[in-house]
Amino acid sequence: MSTQSQAVRTIRRVLDAIVSRNWDDLADAYAEHFRFEDRRAGLKDSQDKAGILERARITADLGFDRADLDLIERRGERTALVNVTTTVSATGFVAAQLLVLRVDGDGRMLVVVWFDEDAFDDARAELDALAAREQA
């Protein structure tokens, strides 16, 4: 049995699917009522499942070919705060961000909220809010 939470296994699955351009696996990793929010400075955005799948394809087309994942905190099996660093090896471009995520009982992504990599307080507040909703 894995020592990682379901949330961490799911975000790893998502990142691996983008890197490998496995669009069927990527689509299967998201719940139908998925919600995405980007709260990074200057990049405010929200998407549904179709929107995030299109965004993933665009990201892959830009040359995204590596994703490093570090768990910062988790609340149970289904809610986590992670640091994700993405790389485009051909250009040397590297971007890091914090992600707060929640998955459903089947391990499908329900919510992802992106934060600037230094926005720990905001990310932790969102982590706690999502975890509280899970407990309710």
User: pLDDT tens for residues 36-57?
Assistant: 999 999 888 999 999 999 999 9
Structural class in CATH, domain 6-135? alpha beta
Sign of the four-CA dihedral 73, 97, 129, 25:
negative
Query: Is residue 1 predicted with pLDDT exceeding 50?
Result: no
Instruction: For residue 134, give both structure tokens.
Output: 């899970």
Global pTM value: 0.91
Residue 103: band (very low, low, confident or very high) from pLDDT cuts 50, 70, 90: very high
Greatest Cα-to-Cα distance within the chain, rounded to the nearest angstrom: 46
Angle, CA of 57, 125 and 12, to the nearest 5°: 35
Query: Is residue 68 predicted with pLDDT exceeding 50?
Result: yes
